[in-house]
């Protein structure tokens, strides 16, 4: 999925893993060197404890994720977890 920030910058989001039994979705942003793990076990979608991680511990990671990008990740995670496939 490609998200366009208000500045016009595009950010590519990729699903790395889905665990329907544990109700987890992992979305990566390679250019930020970050992965985000979401769950809806409590009835609301949220990052799990320690849900933001570096992909490569030896490389720097972007500290700030814009609201536009974060909102897109949340919406995508919800859609994936609600899908019955």
Structure confidence by residue, pLDDT tens digits, 57-68: 999 998 888 999
Structure confidence by residue, pLDDT tens digits, 15-30: 999 998 999 999 999 9
Extract long-range pairs of 70-76: CB within 8 Å, 24+ residues apart: 72/1, 72/3, 72/13, 73/13, 73/27, 73/36, 73/38, 74/38, 74/45, 76/1, 76/13, 76/15, 76/25, 76/27
Instruction: Return the domain boundaries, the chain.
Output: 2-82
Burial of 53 (0-12, 13-18, 19+ CB in 10 A): middle
Indicate yes or no: pTM above 0.85.
yes
């Amino acid at each position: 999925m490609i998200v366009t920030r208000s500045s016009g910058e595009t950010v590519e989001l990729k699903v790395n893993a889905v665990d329907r039994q544990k109700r987890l979705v992992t979305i990566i942003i390679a250019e930020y060197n970050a992965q985000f793990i979401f769950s809806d076990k409590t009835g609301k979608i949220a990052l799990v404890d320690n849900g933001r991680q570096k992909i490569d511990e030896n490389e720097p990671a972007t500290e700030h994720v814009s609201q536009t990008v974060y909102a897109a990740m949340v919406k995508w995670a919800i859609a994936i977890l609600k899908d019955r496939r």
